[in-house]
Every structure is written in C-alpha cells, then in structure tokens.
Amino acid sequence: MEPLWENISHRHFIFNAFADLGPLRPLVFIPVSVLVIVSLFANCLLLYIIISQKSLHSPMYILIACMLGVDLSLPMLILPNLMLNLLFDLRGVSLSGCLGQMFFLHILGTCQSTLLLLMALDRYFAICSPLHYQEHVSLTRFLKFVLPLLTRNVVMVSLVVSLAGRLPFCFSNIINHCICEHMALVELACGATTANSLVGLMTVIFVTVLDFCLIITSYVVIFHTVLLSGKSGSKALHTCITHIIVMVVSLAFVLTVSVAYRTRNSLPAATRVSISIMYLFVPSCFNPIIYGIRTTEIRQHILKALSFSRPVPSANHP
C-alpha cells in the first residue's frame, strides 16, 4: 500500500517569517530597502568604473566585476518576493517556484565561493609565477579552470534541489522564512531526509570546504614566496589582503547562519530569519565598499568620476 502522504503532499506553501511581529511586519522592509539601495549604488558604481575604464580590463578586475554582479543578483533575486511578503501580505509560493528560487540562491552562493578561489589563483600566478602570468590567465587556460568548477556547482546544486522537490510535505506547508532556503523547506518533509542531508553535506564539502582549503593554500604559498624572495611585494600583498577581508566577511556570515539554524530553539524566529536575510544582503553592500576603498586603481577612478559632478569654479571668480 502506498504511504498516505503521497496523496496529500503539499504543492503550495506559505511564508511565515516575522509573524510574531504582527502589524509591525511591514517595518522590517525599511532596513532591507536601505541595504538594497546601498547595494545597488555601490555595486553599479564599481561595475560602471570597471567596464568603462580600459585600464581595468585585466583578469583581476574582471573577477571583481563578476563578484559584484553576483552580489547584485542576490538581493534582486529575493527582493520582489520579500516586498510582496512584508508590504502586501502576499506570502504564498508554489513548490516549483520555491525550488526555482532555491536553485538560483544556491548557485549564486557557490559562484561566490568559486570567484574567491579564482581570485586567489590569479594572485598566485601574478606573484609566484609573474613571467608566465599572461600565459596562465589566457582565455583557454581560464576556461580550463572555470568550466569544471561551474559544472561542479551546477551538478551539486541541481542534485540538492531535485532531491528536495521529490520529498513529500504532509505535516505542514508553513515555511518559517521569507525565502526558499534548502533547510527551511526540507524541515517540512514527512518522509526520510537522510539522502538530502548527505547530499547537502557533500555539497558543503566539495564546494565550500574544498574551495576554502585551496584558497588558504594559495595565500600561504603567496606569503611564503614573498617572504623568501626578499623583494617588495607590498602592492601584491595589499591586493591579497583585500580578497582575504572579503572572504572572511563572507565566511563569517555563512558560519553565523549555520549556527543560527542549529540553535533555532534558543533563538526567536524573527532573529533567526533576520540573520539569514543579513547573510544575503550585508556582503553585497560591504564587498564593493571594501574593493572601492582598498583597491587603489578603482578608488582613483571613483574619485575621478565623482569629481566630474562637482561644479567647476569660474576663471573670473575673484
């Protein structure tokens, strides 16, 4: 006999984030909108600077532009749903819509990890093998690095999402979140979720942990090479430190969200959801600011671009 849940599995879900705030729920959109405005302005400004300045069309700046594009895409992906949820109390989502949002959320998250790895490799080739740098970062070599990593990301995320979509959801259709995160949906399943947990763990190991280990290895070799060479590598190390700051910020939010999920019983629901939202919005605001302040070439072009908006004093003015 077929399990009863196969006939009653929910195909439509309701977001229930910030329900304990009652009529104050719409006020949550105020800090979110501020973060979105900052993210839009900062990312678009830096993207414009990198695209418009030919002197910045080098592999390092192209990778920074890709990171800015990912940082810009994440808020834009969840903002419409969040706005409907908080401002208009439209909280419903179909299973297919939820799985679609989940897929793109996790793809963009894995792309952030992959871009940080590519930035570390770019600095490795520039510092440890400067004579062959152009050869290493040629389009052919670049694709040999990128395509396997992107294929890995797509395969792992597709497997996670497809397994989540095959689960029966008979206990509840209330998602205690305002976006379709993997764990927020899977915890509603009434069937066995061992395979989901295993594949989710494998994704973390083969994407996040593996990329992190390779990044750390690259920077250890870079610092070791600079110290042994005895030459001035302040500019190269300055760029590396910028990337490390971005990586630390990203990892800090990932770890914070992970701890929040595992201590859900000791945290108010609104606090847990707020931490999860900040994980998506705050890095997209701070990453362009970090790159804009610490990357000398980008900072100089930003100041030059902003100076055009200042009124030019008249030559006849006393």
262-280 confidence digits (pLDDT tens): 555 566 666 777 777 777 7
Q: What share of the chain is helix, strand, coil (3-state, %, to 5)?
A: 80, 5, 20
DSSP H or E stretch at residue 93: strand 92-94
Q: Considering the domain boundaries, does residue 8 fall inside one?
A: no
Task: Report the distance separating Cα 318 and Cα 314, nearest Å.
Answer: 9
**215-228 core/surface letters (b: 16 or more CB in 10 A; e: else):** beebbeebeebbee
* CATH number of the structural domain spanning residue 70: 1.20.1070.10
Q: Is 206 contained in some domain? A: yes
pLDDT band at 312 (very low <50, low <70, confident <90, very high): very low
pLDDT beyond 50 at 317? no
> What is the number of alpha carbons within 13 Å of residue 23 lying toward its C-beta?
0
Residue 197 lies in a domain: yes
Domain extent, residue 278, equals 27-302
Provide the pLDDT for residue 103. 94
Ordered strands of the 12-15 beta sheet: 92-94, 12-15, 174-175
CA–CA distances in Å: residue 226 to residues 118, 133, 220, 231: 20, 16, 10, 7
- Mean predicted lDDT score pLDDT of the chain: 81
* Structural domains in the chain (count): 1
Q: Helices 296-307 & 29-52, crossing angle to 10 degrees? A: 100
Please check whether residue 17 lies inside any domain of the structure.
no
Q: Answer whether residue 308 is part of any domain.
A: no
How many Cα atoms sit within 13 Å of 175 on the Cβ side? 26
Closest of 54, 37, 42 to residue 290, by C-alpha: 42
Q: Which residue has the higher pLDDT, 226 or 64?
A: 64
**Is the Cβ–Cβ distance between 35 and 282 less than 8 Å?**
yes
Residue 312, domain member (yes or no): no
CA distance 41 to 55: 22
Phi, psi dihedrals of residue 187, rounded to the nearest 5°: -70, -10
Residue 156 has pLDDT above 90, yes or no: yes
